[in-house]
Amino acid sequence: MKVLVLNCGSSSLKFQLIETDEQKIARDEDVALARGIVDNIGSEAVLKVDLPSRGTTLRETAEVLDHKAAVSRALELLTRPEAGVLADPAEIGAVGHRVVHGGERFHASVLIDDEVLRAIESCFDIAPLHNPPNVKGYRAAREALPAAPQAAVFDTSFHQTLAPEAYLYGLPYVLYERHGIRRYGFHGTSHRYVSARLARHVGREGDPALRVVTCHLGNGCSITAIRGGRSVDTSMGFTPLEGLLMGTRSGDLDAAAALHVMRKEELGEREAQALLNKHSGLLGLSGVSNDMRALLEAEAQGNPRAKLAIDVFCYRLRKYVGAYAAALGGLDALAFAGGIGENAAAIRERALHGLEGLGLRVDPERNAAANGVEARISPEGAPVAVAVIPTNEELLIARDAYRLVAGLPLA
């Protein structure tokens, strides 16, 4: 089955066309036929499609005014003869949508019907930047591909196994009852994929006692404690702002400090949101960049604030790893994923430095060679397996969509 995977942002549409079925999943031989993006929706957009099987890329610019037009243009690109991946859009057997927020309603991926759509829309107030464009993408795909079943795969669903002591805040309980104020967690699709790959990597698939920590490190960062494939705790909270230091997000912060800054700087809610989400984190501390590559280069050139930002990043990560080892009662394996986690060997080594007492060790040669590939980076015989596991959220979304359409249980 050919599955179209859509990830809609406010002004962008990322998409992949993936060929999968039960046999391909079992052999881990799913095929990414095309990967693309329509960027700057609402104006003169940039359209790009990478074709792995042909080793080529199609690029162009065009006026794309809304998500409906973006989906149409994506399908038009995929059906061009020079793309060679679709003769007709009707070949698409299912569409899988990344949906950021499923609230407490969704514990797993589902096929979208009117009731599911209403439930996704009911989360607009707690995910105002993400769920509305996700729904726009769904409506556009449903109109363009009326015969294809549509599936929603939620960032939050993997973390619905958290116990109340892990997801509740120290606020009056009535605020949870009235407004759903709790830890939801995000990046769940990545953590689910990486933890399953890690279990296979260490030869303990399906082991209910396996204790792992997965570190998704990119411009957005989160870390999750997982026992037997079930999320036990995770660093992002009511929104993706909480937890680790990130590219432009502050991560953990005393709420009173934010209120104090709002008073002193005379900031409204909108300005405070921008400060915490777009001008803080690595960018805010360093004054250089939110890109870890640029910061490592600046640090090597003697920039003290670049070094400070990296040190804070690594310290926060190290602290969370230790806390989650405690939450799990020990640790069997740890994985790095995401743009930083997969490609920054120096960050992996620095983040785990000092955790040797927990059995976490990094072999320098293995670590240096592991960038961008799945590989173990801990020394032979180390008590805790440490690995780089490149994430693939789109593949998991495609597999879930296929399984739902085929009536198979979700993995």
- Give the DSSP letter of residue 288: S
- Nearest of 151, 155, 140, 18 to residue 99 by alpha carbon: 155
Cα torsion angle, 92, 373, 8, 154, sign: positive
Which residues neighbour 10 within 8 Å (Cβ) at sequence distance 6 or greater? Answer: 129, 132, 133
Residue 167 near residue 240 (C-beta atoms within 8 A): no
DSSP state of 361: -
- Selecting among 30, 155, 233, 332, the annotated active-site residue is 155
Q: Which residues of 114-148 are buried (b: 16+ CB within 10 A; e: fewer)?
A: eebbebbeebeebbeebbbbbbbbbebbbebbeeb
C-beta neighbour count of 408 within 10 angstroms: 13
CA-based end-to-end distance of the chain: 18
Helix boundaries (H) for 1-152: 22-27, 67-78, 114-121, 131-144
Contact (Cβ atoms closer than 8 angstroms) between residue 399 and residue 30: yes
Could you tell me the CA-to-CA distances from 348 to 215, 254, 338, 382 in Å, in that order?
A: 10, 27, 12, 16
Phi, psi of 15 (to 5 degrees): -145, 155
Q: Which residue has the tokens 């038009």?
A: 76
Question: Chain-centre distance of CA 258, in angstroms?
Answer: 26
What are the backbone dihedrals phi and psi of residue 374, each rounded to the nearest 5 degrees, phi first?
-75, 120
Q: What's the token pair of residue 29?
A: 């031989």
DSSP code of 42? T
**What is the distance, to the nearest Å, from the Cα of residue 232 to the centroid of all Cα atoms in its chain?**
17
* 155 is an active site residue: yes
Nearest to 385 by CA among 354, 367, 365, 359: 359
Residues catalogued as catalytic = 155
